[in-house]
Amino acid sequence: MASALFDLTGKVALVTGSTKGIGRAIATELARHGAKVVISSRKADACEAVSAEINAELAGQAGGAVPIPANVSHKAELERLVAETRRQLGSIDVLVCNAAVNPHYGPMSGLPDSAFEKILQVNIMSNHWLAQMVLPDMIARRDGAIIIVSSIGGLRGSPVLGAYCVSKAADLQLVRNLALENGPHNVRVNAISPGLVRTDFARALWENPETLARRVEHDPLRRIGEPEEMAGIAVYLASRAGSFTTGQNFVIDGGATIS
């Protein structure tokens, strides 16, 4: 008999930035484990295409997907996203804050105010807003899981990704505070910190073979990750398997931070 430890049947999951990369992999795996998943990003056509692909794969099964586009940098759009999710699927059981930006590559000495403000707005404020929007229902039910996708950049400095790293470090503290405040209501809040993963977002770091070889030379696994390799920990944190786990940061980096 199959274990129900990772079963998400009947759960509603909202995943931001879920039309590609890590977000898409997480959303797809949550749906495969039975959740009804909201696919959300700025572009409606991309949301519809990913939802259709998931629904075609899971036809006749418990899990599935609906497309609800939103720009996470605007609070009003997030309010609409949450309201529309509730209208179509019911209250949200699992929130995955994955959407992030990094409009500046280079030292912070050359960082424009506008770029820094955008990074803080999307990578931190939107996560705070979304958490506050979904928490009342989770608290009322005394059950819920919030997952914020951070980065190993939040654990160390960078000569070219400094502002992004600042935002990801802030996300880790946001997780700890939300876990502390909402744990008495049985709401769990955790972070996932990927290392270098083969996504469009990180293309500048892996597209050049020589740059990639230098980057992974001392990593224990000697390679970068694939988006699908970030999805399993999200299923764990969203399911009964993770019911005693909160306030933690799960580093999934092929061992990069230990070498």
Q: How far is CA 91 from CA 173, 185, 192, in A?
A: 26, 16, 23
Nearest in space to 171 (alpha carbons), one of 97, 76, 246, 67:
97
Half-sphere exposure (Cβ direction) of 126: Cα atoms closer than 13 Å = 32
The CA distance from 123 to 72, in Å, is: 9
Q: What is the DSSP string of 169-227?
A: HHHHHHHHHHHHHHGGGTEEEEEEEE-SBSSSTTHHHHSSHHHHHHHHTTSTT-S-B-G
Q: Say which of 12, 119, 123, 164 is annotated catalytic.
A: 164
**Torsions phi, psi for 223 (to 5 deg):** -160, 165
Pairing label, strands 36-40, 64-67: parallel
In which residue are the tokens 């909402």 written? 182
Known catalytic residue at 236? no
Q: Residues 18, 23, 26, CA angle at the centre, nearest 5°?
A: 115
Catalytic residues: 164
